[in-house]
Structure 1
């Protein structure tokens, strides 16, 4: 700190003269600041010599020993000095006199204040103060001066950085979208090519099974007509283990048939997922959508995960099946990613639980789902059989009133894992576009954002998440029955 001043330039300490190496979280202490302090007991002529020696100095800090008093800007100083008799009145006296007369509202900000936030506070000042420098407190006893122009230049640089980053992420999103579109087209073509030979296999399996039965019948007839087989026939039966063939071949045919049906089911799921939804909503079986999603992810789920399915008896809804399948795939994939470490070390402990049910909604949920409280709750489309069971004891319903005789008003799909959980600081941001904690190879930060949009905008629903570090995470999708 400089308690006395001489016009020697060595007494002026400047750093970060140009705002380089800025980033989105840059603070005031990263900018070009002037460390120039003058004791308030000095005479006013000191400021004249100082400001005339360097017109770029925005202002000086006034100190009384180690005590911060305030700041005098060059602009304000010369404005006062231009008035009649001002030089005679102030230059020969201590700076106390000038400061008491010219003192104005001061903007004092901590050094760790983000540049963008500081710029917003600076431009919100009155027109008389908007060009006044800002005092930045670096430490309890260290104050420096920031020119407003430098602040606005830094804000502009950060804005350009943010724009460029958004452009890059948008470009990456477009590339990823194009890749997914191409993959979807390729998937549709490949699934079509697979479907034809699989259908041929399934069709011929019945013929093969019939031929087998006919051949076995023919052999039985031969054995009845010629019970005493020749030695060569007996030897050949023993060589090929004819008894095992009779027993094993039907099981082989059944296995081929079952595998072919599973393959055709997978192909149908891939074709359905890759095609574009119609412009109009259609009737959707949510449990079936979940099964399709699990079928697509089966190769990942079978590697060390316990999958628990608690499907309730829920009515169909009108919606977009492929978009809902995309939501289920995104959420289940995140659960699988969260459980990867557990599944490798303790395969029997990693668990994903999927629960579907109908339940009552709280008043807040009814408002979000746009369910009219006084309107009939269940349209004629839905059969009363769906609502025979009592509401699930695991329901998270937080209704303030006792359950009435009215029917439940929403469908709940809960997907839970017992992974490491999501820290609270991150939990509030998981639905933000491009926000992700995964590496670029594993995630783009779009899955949950798109899922949230599909549920809320396209299906008038609600996507909730609860998580506890060390215990796991649960996503709940609420969809209105109406």
Structure 2
């Protein structure tokens, strides 16, 4: 008995609607053909199907309703073209023909990705390359996929991937340009603020000196003329001279403290926006970290996050300070975001970000860690480590929710973000990874336990060579 699907795709053309597939599409998203014929039927039944539907790639063969194989139109016509092929196969049951074609099938699950299916299809022997593919949708439901349509889908997906990559690259270039312009603007603003701040700071000292001089003269006058008269006494009471004497030094001190803090903030902005990448600078890493924390001080305070600093004694480190400050900013902001999310839950712990710095030797423990990675992950041969070389370790640790395992593998990918639209660009960690690995020859390592927290470890060489060169 011959069976046909009522939902059969149009077979008048090999072109299908590609707008319905995407990079994650599977073979069951492509046009499939579900013609079936029992192997006890005569071969002429296949002839009728292929003559009525000349564009179908093949027919499913069943035995009492059970799948036993597939005969392609190409293979069927080839068998008929043999000497005595028509006499041998047309009037006899299809079971005889089935014995000659049982080794020609590639069977794939319906959820096989299109790109994987195409790779498996082209790896077949040359004589089987254009044979259609059997797709298993359910345990007892099989349909036929035209290999040509599969390869067309593969070509379309390659074009789509190239287009998406181009769009992402353009978006990244735009974002990078914005960051450069923002850095230049911040640097210019910091420079413009420095002059009035220096004026305030300098005048505050001058006012303090002038106040001290006026107070000295006033005290000398009161000692010389203790009875200054009722008019002077009335003025003293009106202006509360004693309170002014006590309060004025505090006012001057508050101006000096505020101007000093503003100077620190401006210095932090200038350090953060430092754009000269022509050569590395001998830099105080702790100053970079403290400048970043100063910029984020208000947000940390509003969130109630405690910052614990465990700083070791460090020498000046050759680096690009502006870029390194950007990495610190990205990692600490990620920690703040994670802690703010955790604080929305029923959580009684104190939100905390710990920053540790330490000089370490490249120990056997780290060799074991890197040996677990493949050469593709390392991007350099493992045997080029220098076992005795010291390095700087900077750890930024939070006690938030941690990162799920399925996200860890994508965390440094361009444009990957778990944040809502408008809050995250998906570039922060990707750019941080690029800065540490490519610009500084170091490593950026993620360690995270779901439910406990996340640790980012930055490893930097102590000289101008790559850590692993």
TM-score above 0.5: yes
1:76-91 aligned at under 5 Å gives the runs 76-91=75-90
CA distance in 1, matches of 2:283, 2:366: 22
Q: Name whichever of 144-153 and 60-69 sits farther off.
A: 60-69
| CA separation of 1:373 and 1:20: change in aligned 2, threshold 3 A | closer
CA distance in 1, matches of 2:163, 2:170: 10
Q: 1:471 aligns with which of 431, 446, 452?
A: 452
C-alpha displacement at 1:180, in angstroms? 1.6
CA distance in 1, matches of 2:437, 2:166: 26
C-alpha displacement at 1:110, in angstroms? 0.5
Q: State the partner residue of 1:388.
A: none
Q: State the partner residue of 1:215.
A: 214
Q: State the partner residue of 1:363.
A: 364
* Secondary structure of 1:93's aligned partner: coil
Q: State the partner residue of 2:67.
A: 68
* Residue 422 (1) aligns with residue 403 (2): yes
CA distance in 2, matches of 1:187, 1:286: 21
C-alpha displacement at 1:151, in angstroms? 0.9
Q: State the partner residue of 2:319.
A: 319
CA contact (8 A) 1:277 1:323 kept: no
C-alpha displacement at 1:184, in angstroms? 1.6
CA distance in 1, matches of 2:54, 2:363: 66
CA distance in 2, matches of 1:34, 1:185: 61
C-alpha displacement at 1:274, in angstroms? 1.9
| CA separation of 1:20 and 1:63: change in aligned 2, threshold 3 A | farther
CA distance in 1, matches of 2:162, 2:411: 21
* Secondary structure of 1:349's aligned partner: coil
1:129-140 aligned at under 5 Å gives the runs 129-140=128-139
Root mean square deviation of aligned Cα: 2.2
Q: State the partner residue of 1:14.
A: 8
CA contact (8 A) 2:104 2:131 kept: no
Q: Which ranges in structure 1 are unaligned for 5 or more consecutive residues?
A: 378-408
1:288-367 aligned at under 5 Å gives the runs 288-304=287-303, 305-342=305-342, 349-363=350-364, 365=366
* Secondary structure of 2:2's aligned partner: coil
CA contact (8 A) 2:362 2:387 kept: no
Q: State the partner residue of 1:385.
A: none
C-alpha displacement at 1:347, in angstroms? 9.7
| Cα deviation digits, residues 255-290 of structure 1 (max 9, x gap) | 111111111122122123223234222212211111
CA distance in 2, matches of 1:219, 1:130: 106
* Residue 373 (1) aligns with residue 374 (2): no
CA contact (8 A) 1:342 1:349 kept: no
Q: Which ranges in structure 2 are unaligned for 5 or more consecutive residues?
A: 11-15, 371-377, 464-469
Q: TM-score, normalised by structure 2?
A: 0.89
Q: State the partner residue of 1:411.
A: 392
* Secondary structure of 1:330's aligned partner: helix
CA contact (8 A) 2:184 2:275 kept: no
Q: TM-score, normalised by structure 1?
A: 0.87
CA distance in 1, matches of 2:183, 2:443: 28
CA distance in 1, matches of 2:365, 2:54: 61
* Residue 225 (1) aligns with residue 219 (2): no
CA contact (8 A) 1:282 1:318 kept: yes
C-alpha displacement at 1:373, in angstroms? 2.8
